[in-house]
């Protein structure tokens, strides 16, 4: 008896538990589905946060995903949205319908090229560290964003540049704050072609702000440092926007020669919000003039400096330059030996006048064919070069043509004879990569081919040095970068930068001074140097012949022809 009773009560008890547990399961299921749907919704990742800090009230929209595993957080001050920064894309188109890089507003993660201060989420949650990187500007401070939409006030170029320099003088402070502005253009070279002038002319545009230094060389020499280190060379977001800036950039001539740099610029900049890339600008000068400029700048002046200080064993210090001359190799010496080396590397002709492919194409293939960006082109152009439509073989001049130290007295294979026969003459270690390639670095097409494999054709701009001082050249370039039209006459009238010896990248020499220095040549001739290059006429002719096809390929590649052949 007891059993049926007990059994019935057990059944009753069980059935009375069943309903709530089904209900509970249903509720859990519904909650799970809702949270799952919410997780996929972008709105769910926006929290508005009110914070008080040091007497200021802040309102932020905090973007994060639901797993809270995002370790970098963009905090966008609400006030920024209120002043109307996020308008239509078209607001930033110039008269050619071109927008400057990064000015797209489909995301609130970036203020044009500038990234708001970054706050690691861990710090956000850990209030003890909270104050270290949060933006401490008050709401009304964001009024400074307004000039972006208005005609920039007509302050003089210099006061704008000087003021913005002052604003971001403290790079250390900027590093701590996070954020920063990305370069919208990179002048990648070529060295000794007027990169300093091009940079100074471009930042003379009132909507372009200069970097802390003309050449930063981040992608060549400093990749082990964080990107924040690089951005700290550019205006702070505040100073950038306050000055109505649309673009900033830098000029590092050491970028052009290296395929790895082209790859790294793309890879690293693509990871940033917007995935836009900086525009690539290259300036090219008559190859022989560049070569002569490099000979003086990278060999003669540093070697004289070295000798004057008595650094070379057996050569007394403080002699006159004329007395030191016998210790220097001539331009003719260098050109002859490098030309022979380059012919072996690129193409050479045997006694029967038959043309042979040099060692450079195969060496370059072996070195680079494991890189996805370059493999296809290398297969077509270096392995099967009979098909001209794919372009000439890719050659990594710097990496393949020059070899390395032969002995303590012979620094490069190309100088074996020169150095052995002239033991009293000096080549210093310091600029070997430049001294070895006086002609090579004038063959602009070789390195530029690699940049064309990595960047869109429309993102690469080529300017001829000889046209730099024409304000119309600069206006065209600025328009093609998406900037408003601007008359550069006043800027170019300042003169040429980094002329002759080591006067500095930021030092302008007036055109009149240049005219006087260059023996009273006409102003036009002073702008387009016509100095005699000290080599024998026969070698000059041979060089001209040698560089002509490479110049021709450069003009084909860039769609732009310079006055040199």
Would you tell me which residues interact with ligand PPS (CB under 6 A)?
Answer: 191-197, 253, 293, 297, 465, 468-469, 496-500, 505, 527, 529
Cβ closest to ligand PPS, residue 135 vs residue 196: 196
The annotation status of 293 as a binding-site residue, yes or no, is: yes
CB of 232 to ligand PPS, least distance (A): 22
Rounded CA gap, 449 and 452, in Å?
A: 5
CB of 218 to ligand PPS, least distance (A): 16
Spatial contact of 284 and 554, defined as CB atoms under 8 Å apart: yes
The vertex-308 CA angle with 304 and 312, nearest 5°, equals: 85
Secondary structure (H, E, C), 419-472 = HHHCCCCCCCCCCHHHHCCCCHHHCCHHHHHHHHHHCCHHHEEEEEHHHCCCHH
- Rg, C-alpha atoms of the chain: 31
Structure tokens at 435: 């001294």
- What does the DSSP 8-state code read for residue 94? -
Angular region, 510: left φ>0, alpha ψ -120 to 50, beta rest: beta
CB of 45 to ligand PPS, least distance (A): 46
Q: Strand, coil or helix: what is 281?
A: strand
Spatial contact of 369 and 361, defined as CB atoms under 8 Å apart: no
- Annotated active-site residue in 78, 122, 192, 270: 192
Cβ closest to ligand PPS, residue 194 vs residue 302: 194
Which residue bears the tokens 């890089």? 101
CA 83, distance to chain mean position in Å, is 32
Number of neighbours of residue 188 by Cβ within 10 angstroms: 29
Judging by beta carbons within 10 Å of its beta carbon (0-12, 13-18, 19+), is residue 48 exposed, middle or buried? exposed
Spatial contact of 248 and 168, defined as CB atoms under 8 Å apart: no
Q: Which residues contact 226 (CB under 8 A, 6 or more apart)?
A: none
Cβ closest to ligand PPS, residue 245 vs residue 284: 284
Structure tokens at 452: 């064309």
Spatial contact of 253 and 189, defined as CB atoms under 8 Å apart: yes
Cβ closest to ligand PPS, residue 235 vs residue 253: 253
Cβ closest to ligand PPS, residue 445 vs residue 498: 498
Rounded CA gap, 439 and 444, in Å?
A: 10
How far is the CA of 450 from the CAs of 440, 446, 454, in angstroms? 15, 8, 7
Cβ closest to ligand PPS, residue 85 vs residue 193: 193
Nearest residue to 64 via CA among 82, 86, 88, 48: 48
Let me know how long the chain is. Answer: 565
CB of 215 to ligand PPS, least distance (A): 7
CB of 337 to ligand PPS, least distance (A): 22
Spatial contact of 430 and 302, defined as CB atoms under 8 Å apart: yes
CB of 197 to ligand PPS, least distance (A): 3
CA-based torsion, 539, 542, 548, 551: positive or negative: negative
CB of 537 to ligand PPS, least distance (A): 21
Largest CA-CA distance found in the chain, in angstroms, rounded: 130
CB of 497 to ligand PPS, least distance (A): 6
The annotation status of 285 as a binding-site residue, yes or no, is: yes
The answer to whether 507 is a known catalytic residue is no
The H or E element spanning position 31 is helix 2-40
- Residues of the binding site for 3'-phosphoadenylyl sulfate: 285, 293
- Residues of the binding site: 285, 293
| Active centre residues (catalytic) | 192
């Amino acid at each position: 008896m007891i059993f049926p009773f007990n059994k019935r009560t057990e059944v009753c008890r069980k059935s009375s538990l069943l309903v709530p547990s089904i209900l509970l399961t249903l509720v859990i299921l519904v909650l799970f589905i809702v949270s799952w749907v919410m997780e996929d919704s972008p709105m769910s990742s926006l929290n508005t946060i009110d914070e008080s800090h040091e007497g200021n009230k802040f309102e932020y929209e905090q973007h994060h995903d639901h797993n809270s595993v995002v370790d970098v957080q963009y905090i966008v001050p609400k006030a920024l949205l209120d002043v109307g920064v996020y308008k239509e894309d078209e607001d930033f188109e110039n008269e050619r319908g071109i927008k400057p890089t990064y000015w797209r507003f489909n995301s609130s993660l970036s203020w044009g090229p500038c990234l708001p201060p970054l706050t690691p989420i861990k710090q956000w949650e850990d209030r003890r560290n909270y104050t270290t990187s949060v933006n401490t500007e008050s709401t009304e401070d964001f009024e400074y964003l307004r000039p972006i939409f208005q005609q920039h006030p007509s302050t003089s170029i210099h006061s704008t540049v000087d003021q913005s320099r002052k604003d971001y003088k403290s790079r250390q402070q900027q590093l701590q704050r996070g954020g920063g502005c990305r370069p919208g253009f990179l002048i990648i070279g070529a060295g000794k072609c007027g990169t300093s002038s091009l940079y100074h002319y471009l930042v003379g545009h009132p909507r372009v702000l200069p970097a802390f230094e003309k050449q930063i060389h981040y992608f060549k020499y400093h990749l082990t440092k964080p990107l924040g280190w690089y951005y700290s060379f550019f205006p702070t977001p505040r100073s950038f926007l306050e000055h109505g800036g649309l673009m900033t950039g830098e000029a590092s001539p050491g970028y052009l020669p290296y395929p790895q740099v082209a790859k790294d610029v793309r890879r690293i900049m693509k990871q940033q919000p917007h995935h836009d890339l900086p525009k690539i600008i290259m300036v090219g000068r008559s190859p022989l003039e560049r070569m002569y400029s490099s000979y003086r700048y990278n060999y003669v002046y540093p070697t004289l400096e070295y000798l004057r200080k008595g650094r070379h064993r057996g050569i007394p210090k403080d002699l006159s330059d004329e007395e030191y001359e016998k210790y220097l190799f001539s331009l003719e010496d260098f050109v002859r030996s490098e030309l022979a080396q380059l012919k072996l590397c690129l193409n050479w002709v045997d006694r029967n006048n038959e043309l042979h492919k040099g060692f450079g194409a195969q060496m370059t293939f072996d070195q680079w064919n494991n890189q996805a960006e370059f493999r296809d082109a290398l297969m077509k152009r270096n392995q099967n070069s009979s098909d001209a439509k794919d372009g000439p073989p890719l050659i990594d001049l710097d990496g393949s043509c020059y070899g390395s130290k032969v002995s303590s007295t012979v620094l490069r294979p190309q100088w074996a004879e020169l150095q052995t026969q002239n033991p009293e003459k000096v080549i210093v270690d310091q600029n070997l990569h430049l001294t070895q390639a006086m002609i090579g670095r004038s063959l602009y097409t070789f390195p530029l081919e690699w940049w064309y494999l990595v960047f869109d054709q429309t993102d690469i701009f080529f300017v001829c040095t000889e046209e730099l001082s024409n304000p119309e050249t600069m206006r065209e370039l600025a328009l093609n970068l998406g900037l408003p039209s601007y008359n550069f006459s006043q800027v170019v009238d300042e003169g040429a930068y980094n002329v002759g010896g080591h006067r500095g990248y930021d030092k302008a020499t007036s055109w009149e001074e240049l005219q006087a220095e260059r023996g009273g040549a006409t102003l036009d001739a002073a702008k387009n140097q016509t100095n005699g290059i000290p080599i024998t006429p026969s070698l000059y002719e041979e060089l001209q012949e040698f560089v002509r096809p490479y110049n021709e390929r450069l003009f084909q590649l860039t769609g732009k022809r310079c006055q040199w052949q």
